[in-house]
Amino acid sequence: MAYTKRFDGRKADEMREIEAKVGVVPRADGSAMFRFGDTVAIAAVYGPRHLHPQFLQNPRTGIIRCHYDMISFSVTDRKRPGPARRSQEISDVTARSLEPVLLLSQFPNTVIDVFINIVQADAGTRCAGINAASLALAHAGIPMTDLVGAISVGALGGSVVVDLTKEEEDYEEDGEKAATDIPMAFTLRDKKVSLLQLDGRVKPEHLKEALEVGRKASEKIYEIQKTALRGLK
Amino acid sequence: MTNKQEFDERPEDMDGGMDIHQDMGYEEKKERKIVVPGEVIATGQNFLPGENTKRDGQNIIATRFGLLDIEERLTKVIPLSGTYIPRRGNVVIGKVVDITYNGWLIDIDSPYSSFLPIIECKGFVSKKDDLSLIYNYGEMVIAKVLGVKGKGVDLTTRERGFHNLEEGMIIRVNSNKVPRVIGKQGSMVNLIKEYTGCNIVVGQNGLIWVRGETIEAELLARDAITMITEKSFVEGLTDKVKEFLMSKTKNK
């Protein structure tokens, strides 16, 4: 049986309620909050600043370091605080998805630190984190050619739906896990893919459809990011 | 009425700038639009990319978050945020964080460490002398950026007016607001000096040293500077600050 009606009654290409706010961490150089429904991410940017340890310094360009973490109360079962395999991976993936838009060569030997904290999690945390980080970097006055927007699209039992919730991520069909989550990020002006992850099985035509749906959804994220930044003066 | 005309002439897409306008009165002649990184600010070969902008095919895009400024054909973006990047000739205020055998390491609030060598301080100092007697740990120093190298910044205090700070108050502001604090040909800072009687040095890195006869005078200068940084986007700000300072000095 296909997944035709979504648990929360949304349409297949309908995202959850989105909220973005810039300047939420007063002591940071730049900061932002981004929310997809019940998933809330806060990002704070510090730098460009002196890079230690010194062997990481690159005289040709600056580097970006991301620190993603879920706060222990963000999920129903307490998350053990501190870095873990999962958060390590997401940190690296986030840094790589943001790197193509940053003009880091203007700041050789320095680092830009991005701290992403998930305050509340209901699937799609890395996407919310990337969106928050993109806003925070712009707010911190880092030179960049574009903003980045991320969205998770899922293939659930034969249909493609946008912005999964935790409930949908755990969707089962005949006692088997039938949901594949595909987080993706786009540079928002020219709509190039800067992140595409996929753990699970998906049909080629579903992946193509997912990319298309994701691109469409990123347009709305772009609008929200722009309004959030312009609201600030 | 001129106000009405200005209101009509403003572009449609100013995004909420209107509320701000109503608070401040209609003083500004040209409303500057806020642009976000990657936004297309002009199309065609008629425009030239200036500061914080980049050409991308036919379009010119903003590469930084800030206010758009188009002067004839030249487009540029005035940044609203970001850390201080030292430039040659900048006057900065910094703190002595370390003393080495041939100079001082000074924290000037920028990504690069800055160094003040012995030969760049006033008078003759031998390497054998106790350097902490000239500039001690934790002291604030006014210095000039001599040059920016790949890994660091060199400072000098040789010229007149560069010295360590013994009294007064240090105010930290966003380094992007420094041009507003100084004003055209120093008009703004001179205004504050005139009304408060304070001695003020504005560092390009956003640190401002204020020294007055009384603490009240220093606090008044601080309030005026805070006012400038908060309302930095209003044109005709000099008059506003003048009014503010006049009302405050009258009460005494």
Render pLDDT for A38-96 as a digit per residue (tens, 0 to 9).
999 999 999 899 999 999 999 999 999 999 999 999 999 999 999 999 999 999 999 99
Contact A42, A117 (CB under 8 A): yes
Rounded to the nearest angstrom, the minimum Cα separation between A229 and chain B is 7
Determine which of A112-116, A128-132, A226-230, B163-167 has the lowest per-residue pLDDT on average: B163-167
CA gap A229, B166 in Å, rounded? 41
Task: Compute CA B70 distance to the chain's CA centroid, rounded to the nearest angstrom.
Answer: 21
Asked if the structure places residue A217 within a domain, the reply is yes
Of B218, B216, B224, B222, nearest to B243 by C-alpha is B224
Of A93, A84, A147, A91, nearest to A116 by C-alpha is A91
* Residue A189 near chain B (CB below 8 Å): yes
Q: Is the pTM for the entire model greater than 0.95?
A: no
End-to-end Cα, chain B, rounded Å: 38
Of A172, A176, A125, A175, nearest to A151 by C-alpha is A125
Contact B86, B178 (CB under 8 A): no
- How confident is the model over B64-80, as a mean pLDDT? 90
CA gap A137, A116 in Å, rounded? 12
Is residue A127 classed as helix, strand or coil in its secondary structure?
Answer: helix
In this structure, what DSSP letter does residue A75 have? S
- How confident is the model over B170-181, as a mean pLDDT? 92
List the alpha helices (DSSP H) in B71-121. Answer: none
Render pLDDT for B104-163 as a digit per residue (tens, 0 to 9).
999 999 999 899 999 998 888 888 889 999 999 999 999 999 999 877 899 999 988 898
Please give the torsion angle defined by the CA atoms of residues A6, A10, A12 and A18, in that order, rounded to the nearest 10 degrees: -130
CB contact under 8 A, B40 and A229: no
Q: What is the CA radius of gyration of chain B?
A: 22
Of B246, B232, B186, B181, nearest to B208 by C-alpha is B181
Determine which of A27-41, A98-112, A139-153, B141-155 has the lowest per-residue pLDDT on average: B141-155
- The pLDDT mean for chain A works out to 93
Contact A188, A133 (CB under 8 A): no
Residue A127 confidence class, pLDDT cut points 50, 70, 90: very high
- The pLDDT mean for chain B works out to 84
Asked if the structure places residue A5 within a domain, the reply is no
CA gap A85, A89 in Å, rounded? 6
User: Which chain A residues touch B61 with a CB distance below 8 Å?
Assistant: 145-146, 189
- Consecutive H or E run containing A179: strand A179-187
Of A106, A119, A132, A9, nearest to A72 by C-alpha is A119
Rounded to the nearest angstrom, the minimum Cα separation between B52 and chain A is 7
Domain residues for the domain of A76 are 18-230
Q: What pLDDT is recorded for position B149? A: 84
CB contact under 8 A, B36 and A48: no
For chain B, list the domains and their CATH numbers: 2-79 (2.40.50.100), 91-165 (2.40.50.140), 169-250 (3.30.1370.10)
Q: Which two tokens stand for residue A44?
A: 């704070």
CB contact under 8 A, A108 and B150: yes
Q: Which two tokens stand for residue A219?
A: 């347009």
Which strand ranges, in their side-by-side order, compose the sheet holding A63-70? A18-22, A30-36, A39-50, A110-120, A63-70
Render pLDDT for A166-208 as a digit per residue (tens, 0 to 9).
999 888 888 777 889 999 999 999 899 999 999 888 999 999 9
Asked if the structure places residue A7 within a domain, the reply is no
CB contact under 8 A, B34 and A59: no
In this structure, what DSSP letter does residue A134 have? H
Asked if the structure places residue A4 within a domain, the reply is no
Q: What is the ipTM metric for this complex?
A: 0.89
Asked if the structure places residue A102 within a domain, the reply is yes
* Residue B79 near chain A (CB below 8 Å): yes
**CB < 8 Å from A in window 181-200 of B:** none
**B55: amino acid identity, one letter:** R
Q: What pLDDT is recorded for position B252? A: 57
Query: How, if at all, do strands B152-156 and B199-202 pair?
Result: unpaired
CA gap A177, A13 in Å, rounded? 22
Q: Which residues pair with B103 in a beta bridge?
A: B100, B117
CA gap A2, A157 in Å, rounded? 5
**CB < 8 Å from B in window 60-99 of A:** none
Q: Is residue B18's pLDDT more than 50? A: no
CB contact under 8 A, A48 and B61: no
Query: Which among A101, A141, A231 has the least Cβ separation from residue B79?
Result: A141
Q: Is residue B23's pLDDT more than 80? A: no
CATH of the domain at A109: 3.30.230.70
CB contact under 8 A, B63 and A103: yes
Please give the torsion angle defined by the CA atoms of residues A9, A42, B34 and B243, in that order, rounded to the nearest 10 degrees: 130
Asked if the structure places residue A156 within a domain, the reply is yes
Query: Which among B20, B63, B176 has the least Cβ separation from residue A143?
Result: B63
CA gap B229, B174 in Å, rounded? 8
Query: Which among A29, A50, A147 has the least Cβ separation from residue B38?
Result: A147
Asked if the structure places residue A201 within a domain, the reply is yes
Q: How many domains does chain A have?
A: 1
CB contact under 8 A, A141 and B36: no
CA gap B190, B192 in Å, rounded? 5
Residue B251 confidence class, pLDDT cut points 50, 70, 90: low
